[in-house]
């Protein structure tokens, strides 16, 4: 831009004056002014279809002839790429033919294939990016998860100390004043609408005419008082008239119930909650299917059900009836039509269906179901049987509606029409007399020679008439006949038949079936194992007669097998009578006279029945068969001592010491004297026994306990120390020595004794538990916690340690500890007992009872569980529940448990029964807290 020379001469004159403005310059835009356009700039207004006026447009440049082609195809080198070519299509003007389409399809398939190859890598990369993103930017919930976990450590007092969240808003925002609306009385409305109102306007002025109803009365401004109550009554009258008009029609049928009008309106709302567009698409699709293939019944059924779902039941009925017209031989369509129609119309529809499909069983059954009266149902079934006489389903349905006499006549006809139906033959046999039933079953066997149920029914029939000798013959003939007719004798199926026979009360039939099929398909070397499994399976199913039959047959094959006799005896003991048990044991000792257990079971059964002489006789016979048997000697001693025949017991023990001097005989001798308060004699016997059996730990422990009872603590200490030199692995003796030291106020020595015991007996939970309890009794709770942690590391599956750990925790943490204990020792009775007590402390009584049952089921020998269970029922159960727990405990006869052994091993309670021990232990137990 050149500067004019005048600018140098006159400095006050601006240099840009006289120079044209730059392109796009708008005056004043720098100081915020905006330009505007006037009508003269854009020309006069014109219609959109008028020819444009180019007076104000810039002059058009000369266009080349092929300008349009140049715009479409820019073949300049700057627009060329080595990979993609020109940006435009080189062949855009050419026609698109089949070859081009095929080529595009091939390229598209190649692209798709390449994309699938890279898909796995792409998805993996996307997953990694997403994980990385979540690690870098975690959710707020994840950021505070560790703090949430720490909330379980908060105690109840800390929770209660947390202040309530206040409202930070001011009082006006917290308590907004609600707007008050006061209803106007009718008098105000009537005064304003009626002729009583006055106006300050001049009637002669024009303003008065602009406010109708103020001064001039008319249609909307009545001159008198307006009674709004009458308006409400008129509205109700008008509504009643409309409903009456709608409800009455020419035929007299009621369309609308005036009383339940609103309820009916609610029921008219479609129940379908989906998208209306989906309904339209489905309706259009099904319409297309119906039109293209009208003979396809599922299309009509689907269309009708769609309309039914959307609430258009009448449309559904019309569609399904049209489908029935098009496909009159479709059973499904007629049944669907009957379902959609109301009952009266449905009967007409199903009658039409029966005329079109007279051989359809389902149509006739539906027709009978639609009838209400039994007489009408019978008529329908008889009409159906005229058309379909060989339908078992129709015969069975018809027979069910008849009385026994008519049913027998009907079944006689039924078995003629359906001679291969076992159910009809058996039903007829049940309704006939004994002689006729035999004839019926014989005919049934002739018609169906391959069915076992007919033979079994025949055997039950003979047993019901008292012909037990015929049962075995019938079952044997059944096996022979079925095998001859090519039927496979399946043991499982026959065993099920035997169980069913037992449930129906046919015991002889059940046992005959077992004896006939028990050896089928079993190798001789597998017989005993298989038969024992069969007996257990039958007992588990509650079929005890079947189990007895299996054991009886097994004992006939293996009469000298003691294990089979024992299993049979236990079955009789649990589910039989005392007489059957004693009879079985008499047979058992005859075949196995050397089995001490069988002799002892027989003697105990007699003793429990109160027949002491018979028990002594059995034991004397046992002595003859098993001379110098320790078990029989001790059983005889127990029998005499339980019956308070102490002199006879002493003489028996003296003979036993002379003929069979065993450690147990010596222990029993010393215990008898100790119980009779002859402590010096007991000590003398124990000293003699220790000289002979120096490595038998129970001798030292009994001697030390007697000395402690006599307050000879130093002698007891020497006895325990001497015993531990001989029996260093006897854990109870180590515990007795530590408790003696604790009793003598030597806590440090007691602690050292237990540490030495743990070194000699590593990984022993009993020693660890005693150490923890010693520290707790000494008041060192923190030391006890540390010891318990070490104990759980060394013995992670010790249930007694976990049970102790649960109740050493504070109340809020016990539940978490119990979960950890159950993970480590899921089936440990001590852990289950601790969890039961935990539920007891939380007053969850039903759960507590459930866990007590689980505990005593897993370990019925744990006396502590029974005692706590009984204590719980005493406090929270009724008399029936208490008696049930007591009886179950007596049947289980527990012998172990810390609290249980404290009472049962007490020398003063040596003659206590299980029930007495249970009552005493439960009385001494404290309620868990």
Nearest to 443 by CA among 418, 477, 467, 468: 418
pLDDT score at 42: 55
- Percent of the chain beyond pLDDT 70? 81
Spell out the long-range contacts of 705-708 with Cβ–Cβ below 8 A and sequence spacing 24 or more.
705/736, 706/674, 706/679, 706/682, 707/683, 708/740
Secondary element (H or E) of residue 80: strand 80-81
- DSSP 8-state assignment for residue 907: G
Q: Is the pTM of this model over 0.75?
A: no
At residue 923 the predicted structure's pLDDT band, cuts being 50, 70 and 90, is very high
* Domain containing residue 303: CATH number: 1.25.40.10
- What gap in Å lies between CA 647 and CA 707, rounded to an integer? 25
The pLDDT value recorded for residue 878 is 92
Cα–Cα distance measured from residue 193 to residue 51, given in angstroms and rounded to the nearest whole number:
62
* Most trustworthy range by pLDDT among 257-261, 380-384, 674-678: 674-678
Q: Confirm whether 491 is domain-assigned.
A: no
Kindly state whether residue 142 falls inside one of the protein's structural domains.
no
- Which residues, other chains included, contact 927 with Cβ-Cβ below 8 Å and sequence gap of 6+? 840, 871, 875
* DSSP codes joined into one string, 818-843: HHHHHHH-TT-HHHHHHHHHHHHHTT
- Looking at residue 795, what is its pLDDT? 92
Last residue of a domain, one of 385, 418, 451: 418
> HEC profile for 528-578?
HHHHHHHHHHHHHCCCHHHHHHHHHHHHHHCCCCHHHHHHHHHHHHHHCCH
Instruction: Work out the average pLDDT over 903-908.
Output: 88
Kindly report, residue by residue over 392-437, the tens digit of the pLDDT.
Answer: 787 878 777 777 777 777 777 777 777 777 777 777 777 777 777 7
Domain of residue 365: give its range.
Answer: 274-418
**What would the mean pLDDT of 641-654 be, rounded to a whole number?**
82
Distance, in Å, from the CA atom of 544 to the CA atom of 550, rounded to the nearest integer, reads 10
**Residue range 134-142: average pLDDT?**
79
Q: Which residue has the tokens 């390229």?
A: 107
CATH for 914: 1.25.40
pLDDT tens by residue, 175-234 = 665 556 666 666 665 666 544 444 444 444 443 443 344 444 443 444 444 566 777 777
**Secondary structure (H, E, C), 730-762:** CHHHHHHHHHHHHHCCCHHHHHHHHHHHHHHCC
Q: What is the spatial distance between Cα 473 and Cα 451, in angstroms, rounded to a whole number?
A: 17
Asked if residue 836 has pLDDT above 80, the reply is yes
| Residues written for the chain | 929
Query: Does residue 280 lie in a domain region?
Result: yes
CA angle, 184 as apex, 183 and 186 as ends, to 5°? Answer: 125
CA distance from start to end of the chain: 104
Task: Please give the pLDDT value at position 224.
Answer: 45
Which has the closest alpha carbon to 465: 499, 435, 421? 435
Task: Supply the DSSP symbol for 65.
Answer: T
Phi, psi of 745 (to 5 degrees): 70, 25
Domain boundary among the residues 349, 383, 418 is at: 418
* DSSP string covering 303-343: HHHHHHHTT-HHHHHHHHHHHHHH-TT-HHHHHHHHHHS-H
- Neighbouring C-alpha atoms within 13 Å toward the C-beta of 512: 24
Q: Is the pLDDT of residue 546 over 50?
A: yes
Domain-located, residue 845: yes
pLDDT at 268 over 70: no
Q: 26: burial class by Cβ within 10 Å (0-12, 13-18, 19+)? A: exposed
Each residue's pLDDT tens digit, 578-633: 888 888 888 888 888 888 888 878 888 888 777 788 888 887 788 777 777 778 88
2 has a pLDDT exceeding 50: no
Task: Enumerate residues 6+ apart whose C-beta is below 8 A from 88.
Answer: 72, 73, 74, 79
Alpha-carbon distance of 15 to 71, in angstroms, equals: 45
Specify the pLDDT at position 855: 94
Q: Which residue has the higher pLDDT, 521 or 856?
A: 856
How much is the pLDDT for 637? 81
Helical axes 313-326 vs 343-356, angle rounded to 10°: 10
Per-residue model confidence as pLDDT tens digits over 437-492: 777 777 877 787 878 887 888 888 788 877 777 888 888 888 888 888 877 888 88
Helix (H, G, I), strand (E, B) or coil at 269: coil
Neighbours of 160 (CB within 10 A): 7
Structural domain includes residue 301: yes
**In 3-state terms, what secondary structure has residue 81?**
strand
How far apart are the C-alpha atoms of 907 and 147, rounded to whole Å? 57
Strand partners, 878: none
pLDDT band at 822 (very low <50, low <70, confident <90, very high): very high
Say how far residue 125 (Cα) sits from the centre of its chain: 40
pLDDT over 80 at 575, yes or no: yes
Per DSSP, the three-state class of 86 is: strand
User: Domain count of the chain?
Assistant: 2
Q: Would residue 386 count as lying in a domain?
A: yes
CA distances from 373 to 214, 339, 363, 369 (A): 74, 19, 18, 10
Question: What pLDDT digit, counting tens, does each position of 17-73 carry?
Answer: 778 877 777 777 677 666 555 555 555 554 545 444 444 444 544 444 444 444 455
- Give the range among 70-84, 682-696, 833-847 with minimum mean pLDDT: 70-84
Per-residue pLDDT of 626-639, as tens digits, reads: 777 778 888 888 88
Q: Which residues of 636-646 are buried (b: 16+ CB within 10 A; e: fewer)?
A: bbbbbbeeebe
Residue 736 lies in a domain: no
**Which residues have C-beta within 8 Å of that of residue 4, sequence separation ≥ 6?**
15, 18
> Which letter, b or e, does each residue of 811-837 get, where b requires 16 or more Cβ atoms within 10 Å of its Cβ?
eeebeebbeebbeebeebbbbbbbbbb
In a domain, 500, yes or no: no
Question: What is the reported pLDDT for 82?
Answer: 61
Three-state SS across 94-141?
Answer: CCCCHHHHHHHHHHHHHHHHHHHHHHHHHHHHHHHHHHHHHHHCCCHH
Which one of 387, 418, 449 terminates a domain?
418
């Amino acid at each position: 831009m050149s500067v004019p020379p005048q600018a140098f001469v006159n400095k006050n004159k601006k240099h840009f004056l006289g120079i044209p403005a730059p392109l796009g310059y708008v005056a004043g835009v720098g100081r915020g002014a905006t330009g505007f356009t006037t009508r003269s700039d854009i020309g006069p207004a014109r219609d959109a279809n008028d020819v444009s006026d180019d007076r104000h447009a810039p002059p058009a440049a000369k266009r080349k002839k092929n300008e349009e082609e140049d715009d479409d195809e820019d073949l300049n080198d700057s627009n060329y790429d080595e990979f993609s070519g020109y940006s435009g299509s080189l062949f855009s003007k050419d026609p698109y033919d089949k070859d081009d389409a095929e080529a595009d399809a091939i390229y598209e398939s190649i692209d798709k294939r390449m994309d699938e190859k890279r898909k796995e890598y792409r998805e993996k990369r996307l997953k990694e990016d997403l994980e990385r993103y979540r690690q870098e930017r975690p959710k707020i919930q994840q950021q505070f998860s560790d703090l949430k976990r720490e909330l379980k450590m908060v105690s109840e007092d800390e929770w209660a100390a947390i202040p309530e969240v206040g409202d930070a808003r001011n009082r006006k925002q917290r308590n907004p004043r609600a707007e008050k609306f006061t209803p106007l009385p009718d008098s105000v409305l009537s005064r304003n609408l009626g002729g009583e109102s006055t106006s300050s306007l001049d009637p002669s002025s024009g303003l008065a005419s602009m406010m109708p109803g103020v001064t001039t009365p008319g249609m909307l401004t009545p001159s008198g008082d307006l009674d709004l109550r009458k308006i409400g009554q008129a509205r109700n009258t008008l509504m009643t008239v409309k409903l009456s008009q709608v409800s009455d029609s020419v035929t007299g049928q009621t369309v609308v119930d005036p009383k339940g009008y609103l309820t009916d309106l609610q029921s008219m709302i479609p129940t379908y909650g989906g998208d209306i567009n989906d309904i339209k698409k489905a309706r259009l699709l099904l319409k297309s299917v119906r039109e293209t293939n009208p003979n396809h019944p599922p299309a009509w059924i689907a269309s009708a059900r769609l309309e039914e779902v959307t609430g258009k039941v009448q449309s559904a009925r019309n569609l399904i009836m049209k489908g029935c017209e098009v496909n009159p031989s479709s059973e499904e369509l007629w049944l669907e039509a009957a379902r959609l129609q109301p009952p009266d119309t449905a009967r007409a529809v199903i009658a039409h269906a029966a005329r079109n499909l007279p051989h359809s069983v389902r149509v006739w059954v539906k027709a009978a179901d639609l009838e209400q009266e039994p007489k009408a149902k019978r008529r329908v079934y008889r009409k159906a049987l005229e058309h379909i006489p060989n339908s078992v389903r129709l015969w069975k349905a018809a027979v069910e509606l008849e009385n026994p006499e008519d049913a027998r006549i009907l079944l006689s006809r039924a078995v003629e029409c359906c001679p291969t139906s076992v159910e009809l033959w058996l039903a007829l046999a049940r309704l006939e007399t004994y002689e006729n039933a035999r004839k019926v079953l014989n005919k049934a066997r002739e018609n169906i020679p391959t069915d076992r149920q007919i033979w079994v029914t025949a055997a039950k029939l003979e047993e019901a008439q008292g012909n037990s000798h015929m049962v075995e013959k019938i079952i044997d003939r059944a096996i022979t006949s079925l095998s001859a007719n090519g039927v496979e004798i399946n043991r499982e199926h026959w065993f099920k038949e035997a169980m069913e026979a037992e449930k129906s009360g046919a015991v002889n039939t059940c046992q005959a079936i077992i004896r006939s099929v028990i050896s089928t398909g079993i190798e001789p070397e597998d017989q005993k194992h298989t038969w024992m499994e069969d007996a257990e399976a039958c007992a588990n199913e509650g079929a005890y007669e079947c189990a007895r039959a299996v054991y009886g047959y097994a004992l006939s094959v293996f009469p000298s097998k003691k294990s089979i006799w024992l299993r049979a005896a236990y079955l009789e003991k649990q589910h039989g009578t005392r007489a059957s048990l004693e009879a079985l044991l008499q047979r058992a000792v005859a075949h196995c006279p050397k089995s001490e257990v069988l002799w002892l079971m027989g003697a105990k059964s007699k003793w429990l029945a109160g027949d002491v002489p018979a028990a002594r006789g059995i034991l004397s016979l046992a002595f003859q068969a098993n001379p110098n048997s320790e078990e029989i000697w001790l059983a005889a001693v127990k029998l005499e001592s339980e019956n308070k025949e102490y002199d006879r017991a002493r003489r028996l023990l003296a003979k036993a010491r002379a003929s069979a001097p065993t450690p147990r005989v010596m222990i029993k001798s010393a215990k008898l004297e100790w119980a009779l308060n002859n402590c010096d004699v007991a000590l003398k016997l124990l000293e003699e026994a220790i000289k002979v059996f120096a490595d038998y730990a129970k001798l030292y422990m009994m001697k030390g306990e007697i000395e402690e009872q006599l307050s000879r603590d130093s002698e007891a200490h020497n006895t325990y120390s001497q015993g531990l030199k001989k029996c260093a692995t006897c854990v109870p003796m180590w515990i007795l020595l530590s408790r003696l030291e604790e009793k003598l106020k030597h806590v440090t020595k007691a602690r050292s004794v237990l540490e030495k015991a743990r070194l000699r007996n590593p990984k022993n939970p009993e020693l660890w538990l005693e150490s923890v309890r010693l520290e707790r009794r000494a008041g060192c709770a923190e030391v006890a916690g540390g010891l318990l942690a070490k104990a759980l590391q060394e013995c992670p599956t010790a249930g007694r340690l976990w049970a102790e750990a649960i109740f050493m925790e504070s109340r809020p943490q016990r539940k978490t500890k119990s979960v950890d204990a159950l993970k480590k020792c899921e089936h440990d009775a001590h852990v289950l007992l601790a969890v039961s007590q935990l539920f007891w402390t939380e007053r969850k009584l039903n759960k507590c009872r459930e866990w007590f049952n689980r505990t005593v089921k897993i370990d019925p020998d744990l006396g502590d569980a029974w005692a706590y269970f009984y204590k719980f029922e005493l406090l929270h159960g009724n008399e029936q529940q208490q008696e049930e727990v007591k009886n179950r405990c007596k049947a289980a006869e527990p012998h172990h448990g810390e609290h249980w052994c404290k009472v049962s091993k007490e020398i003063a309670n040596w003659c206590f029964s299980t029930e007495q021990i249970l009552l005493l232990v439960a009385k001494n137990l404290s309620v868990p807290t």
